[in-house]
A and B are shown apart, each in its own frame.
Chain A
Amino acid sequence: KQEVTQIPAALSVPEGENLVLNCSFTDSAIYNLQWFRQDPGKGLTSLLLIQSSQREQTSGRLNASLDKSSGRSTLYIAASQPGDSATYLCAVRQEKGSARQLTFGSGTQLTVLP
Chain B
Amino acid sequence: KAGVTQTPRYLIKTRGQQVTLSCSPISGHRSVSWYQQTPGQGLQFLFEYFSETQRNKGNFPGRFSGRQFSNSRSEMNVSTLELGDSALYLCASTKLTGRDQPQHFGDGTRLSIL
> Is B100 within 8 A of A101, CB to CB?
no
B31: nearest chain-A partner, CB-CB: A100
Q: Tell me if B99 is interfacial: C-beta within 8 Å of chain A.
A: yes
Q: Interface stretch among B12-20, B76-84, B103-111?
A: B103-111
Point out the residues of chain B lying under 8 angstroms from A102, CB to CB. 33, 35, 43, 45, 92, 103
> Is A32 within 8 A of B100, CB to CB?
yes
Q: CA separation between A51 and B43, bound complex, in Å?
A: 21
Q: Tell me if A89 is interfacial: C-beta within 8 Å of chain B.
A: yes
Contact mask A92-114 → B, CB, 8 Å, 1/0? Answer: 00000011111111110000000
Q: Tell me if B62 is interfacial: C-beta within 8 Å of chain A.
A: no
Q: Interface stretch among A10-18, A41-49, A68-76, A77-85?
A: A41-49
> Is A43 within 8 A of B107, CB to CB?
yes
Q: Tell me if B71 is interfacial: C-beta within 8 Å of chain A.
A: no
Output the least CB separation between A106 and chain B (Å).
Answer: 5
Dominant secondary structure of chain B at its interface with chain A: strand
A6: nearest chain-B partner, CB-CB: B42
Q: Which of B33, B103, B104, B110 has the most CB of A within 10 A?
A: B103
A32: nearest chain-B partner, CB-CB: B100
Q: CA separation between A105 and B94, bound complex, in Å?
A: 20
> Is A51 within 8 A of B33, CB to CB?
no
- List A residues 15-38 near B (Cβ within 8 Å): 31-32, 34, 36
Some 17 contacts from A to B, beta carbons below 8 A apart, are A42-B108, A43-B6, A46-B104, A49-B100, A91-B43, A99-B48, A99-B55, A99-B56, A100-B48, A101-B33, A101-B45, A101-B48, A102-B33, A102-B92, A104-B44, A105-B42, A106-B42
Of all A-B residue pairs in the complex, the 6 with the closest CB atoms, nearest first, are A44-B105, A104-B43, A43-B107, A43-B105, A99-B56, A49-B102
Q: Which residues of A are in contact with B by a Cβ distance under 8 Å?
A: 31-32, 34, 36, 41-46, 49, 51, 89, 91, 98-107
Q: Which residues of B are in contact with A by a Cβ distance under 8 Å?
A: 4, 6, 31, 33, 35, 42-45, 48, 55-56, 58, 90, 92, 94, 99-100, 102-108, 110
